[in-house]
Copies of this chain bind each other. A is one copy, B any other.
Amino acid sequence: MRKIAACFLTLSIAAYAVEPSPSAPLRGYTAEHSANEVQWEKKFSEVPDQGRLRENMRRLTARPHHVGSPYDKDNAEWLLAQLKSYGLDAKIEEFQALFPTPKSRKLELLGPNRYEAKLQEPSIAIDPTSNQKDEALPTYNAYSKDGDVTAPLVYVNYGAPADYEELERMGVSVKGAIVLARYGQTWRGIKPKLAAEHGAVGCLIFSDPKDDGYVRGESFPDGPMRPAEGAQRGSVMDMPVYPGDPQTPGVGAKPGTKLIPLDKVQTITKIPVMPISYEDATPFLKALNGEVVPENWRGGLPLTYKTGPSKVMAHLALAFNWDRKTLYDVVATIPGAKYPDQWVIRGNHHDGWVNGAGDPISGASPELEEARGLGELLKQGWKPERTIMYCWWDGEEPALLGSTEWAEYHAEELQKHAVAYFNSDGNGRGFFRAEGSHSLENFINSVVKDVTDPETGMSVWKRARLASQVRTGRGGEGGGAEARTRPDTRIGALGSGSDYTVFIDHLGVPSANLGYGGEDEGGGQYHSIYDDFYWYTHFSDTDFAYGKALAQTGGMMMMRMADADVIPYQFTDQAETVHGYVTEIKKLADTMRMQTKERNTDIAEGAYKAAADPHKVSVPPPVEVVPPYLNFAPLDQASDDLTAAAAEYDKAFTAHAATAGNDVNEELLKTERALLDKGGLPNRPWFENMVYAPGFYTGYGVKTLPAVREAIEQKEWPMVDAQITRTAEALEREVAVLKTATKELGGK
């Protein structure tokens, strides 16, 4: 669902200096077991086949396969048949979810230059699947409310919080207006949410050529970028409150599950929203009056972008079929030979907005090759020590429906048994990228040292690391120093935008998102009818070399986690990262305090008035309460305690892991779970993880230590102390678990 943006590497060191010698045993393995594992992984990595990846994609993208479509179900059944043909135990699990589709869509510009938006993506002769109009969903935003509004237009740039502050400074209000926002920067659902909070009555989201059109490259089909009439479908549900079926939060929806009535659902938008192409957007942009927008608000169309409001009115009328549809999750299980109650889970969604080649089949198809590879190993006598589960989720695009309902339905078992969840989604050509729980950081590093980059022949770990060295180190002070001393390359934290969300944020399962990208020229096909086999095989990982690399990466990750004697979590990386977050947050509060003082003084001195052009409207920012000094002591203490406990655990692990029993594994299952607080985050109790969450006003973008960070960012000063305490308590719970695990290993 989400465009790939994560970057594995922000720092780096000289690769040759730390890559372990081949003879060092894998973490959590005895020497002998390690050597054995390496042999099996090697066998596995020879299985994934580029030709099969191409044929998988051709088959799975042959027709539109969104939730509720015939081909969505057909794909699920085909996946099931494939898994069975590999000798795996597989099934389809069905759930129900609300999935609105358009009944009618109308958008027009009124006044003397009346224009009726086309709202159609044209077929392109050279692209054989671009003409399947009968089956394809039209361009729309799922979970927009019904509405019929006539109002002036205001341009709000990306529609992010800072954009509304800027509009206020310019004296422009969106109250009673239809906002015109461009795609990008924030997750799209944030745009109507903020627009509604500021009093707008409708929201249009257009694809600006600066963001994924001709400014960045040639338009499809000459190049990969979005053509003039292309538009981006997508969900606008308020997923930062909760994802999944809007009518059954926290509960896996089966037929008969009690539903929240539609008019009580919190996550449907408050105003009608629709995506449009830049061809359709142009007349609306040209109709805007008002001042010329600031420089970073200017898009790539050949016109002068202005704030509005427009003198002429726009008319937006949307009606949807508010139906519940069946979701088809495909799940294959390989029982663990030694620890069947410890589950290692892999997932990628199979539903698309239309033909969905880049998103999601470029990830779903390699996952199928992984399953085939493990099937081959099973035939040769390999047995995983832990239970392995391979999942293909339905309904990710609308709202992470399939994964969320499944995980909510199996919540109790998962909290008992889940060791890790490894997600992927769209995949492309380029560099290895990962985000995830930091207890997995060392483990992820270890696996990708053993995956070969198809373009350079070096390990994907080394390539990504060296590349980041140049990208951040070039001309930089700092950066370079840490890059050359930290043994593990950092991974980013997980926000949202794909199926890992329920696992990490709701259930406390250590999770990661894996993929390749950065060289393919993607973007312009995203969530359009052009994201299809033709586009992908001309402009992305055209020979599926990185599809193969992803299959090798995902499969080896699953095997190595499933086969280890002791679960190879590692906590010193996590403790160091959490310490960094605490430092960041303290700095954030200090900076806000200093800036508020400075700004208040400037306002009092009349500096904003002096700087303003009297020929234009210019409103000084409001005087604000100076942020109070805050008691970060509990968080500092917890962070220190985690650092100490992680170091003790590591010591014990080094000394005793080879002889450890399963008790330590059972204890380790509780480490990430300890970070959950049953009360959840303020105003969104579904999100229980006190270390990671998608931002309430970013949607995709992560907020670490979210309860504290967002209370500060949103200036909820009276609330901060309590959130510091709750967050510190979560960390202290993990400390306690770690101490027990250390004892069970034979440490102090």
Enumerate chain A interface residues (CB-CB to B < 8 A): 14-15, 209, 214-218, 223, 225, 292, 298, 300-304, 430, 455-456, 458, 462-463, 466-467, 469-471, 473-477, 480, 519, 591, 594-595, 598-599, 602, 605-611, 613-615
| Residue contact B607 to A470, C-beta cutoff 8 Å | yes
Task: Select one of B223, B225, B303, B469 contacting A605, CB under 8 A.
Answer: B469
Who on chain B is nearest to A604 by CB?
B14
Query: In the complex, which residues of chain B have a beta carbon less than 8 angstroms from the beta carbon of A223?
Result: 304
| Residue contact A480 to B598, C-beta cutoff 8 Å | yes
Who on chain B is nearest to A519 by CB?
B613
Task: Select one of B217, B303, B466 contacting A292, CB under 8 A.
Answer: B217
* New A-B contacts (13) at CB < 8 Å, excluding given A215-B304, A474-B602, A475-B598: A214-B304, A300-B300, A466-B610, A466-B611, A469-B602, A469-B605, A469-B607, A470-B607, A473-B602, A473-B607, A474-B595, A474-B599, A475-B595
In whole angstroms, what is the CA distance A303 to B476 when docked?
A: 33
Query: In the complex, which residues of chain B have a beta carbon less than 8 angstroms from the beta carbon of A304?
Result: 214-218, 223, 225
In whole angstroms, what is the CA distance A14 to B598 when docked?
A: 12
In whole angstroms, what is the CA distance A605 to B458 when docked?
A: 12
Separation in Å of the A511 CB from the closest CB of chain B? 28
In whole angstroms, what is the CA distance A399 to B611 when docked?
A: 35
Given A292-B217, A610-B458, A615-B519: A209 in contact with B470 (beta carbons within 8 A): no
Task: Select one of B463, B467, B610 contacting A463, CB under 8 A.
Answer: B610
Separation in Å of the A532 CB from the closest CB of chain B? 21
Task: Select one of B300, B430, B519, B611 contacting A471, CB under 8 A.
Answer: B611
| Residue contact A613 to B473, C-beta cutoff 8 Å | no
Separation in Å of the A509 CB from the closest CB of chain B? 33
| Residue contact B477 to A594, C-beta cutoff 8 Å | yes
Query: In the complex, which residues of chain B have a beta carbon less than 8 angstroms from the beta carbon of A598?
Result: 473-476, 480
Separation in Å of the A342 CB from the closest CB of chain B? 37
| Residue contact B430 to A614, C-beta cutoff 8 Å | no
| Residue contact B591 to A477, C-beta cutoff 8 Å | yes
Separation in Å of the A517 CB from the closest CB of chain B? 12
Query: In the complex, which residues of chain B have a beta carbon less than 8 angstroms from the beta carbon of A456?
Result: 609-610, 614
Query: In the complex, which residues of chain B have a beta carbon less than 8 angstroms from the beta carbon of A614?
Result: 455-456
| Residue contact A467 to B611, C-beta cutoff 8 Å | yes
| Residue contact B607 to A467, C-beta cutoff 8 Å | yes
Query: In the complex, which residues of chain B have a beta carbon less than 8 angstroms from the beta carbon of A606?
Result: 466
In whole angstroms, what is the CA distance A595 to B463 when docked?
A: 21
Given A473-B602, A609-B456: A292 in contact with B519 (beta carbons within 8 A): no
| Residue contact A605 to B467, C-beta cutoff 8 Å | no
| Residue contact A467 to B217, C-beta cutoff 8 Å | no
| Residue contact A302 to B609, C-beta cutoff 8 Å | no
Task: Select one of B215, B476, B602 contacting A470, CB under 8 A.
Answer: B602
| Residue contact B218 to A613, C-beta cutoff 8 Å | no
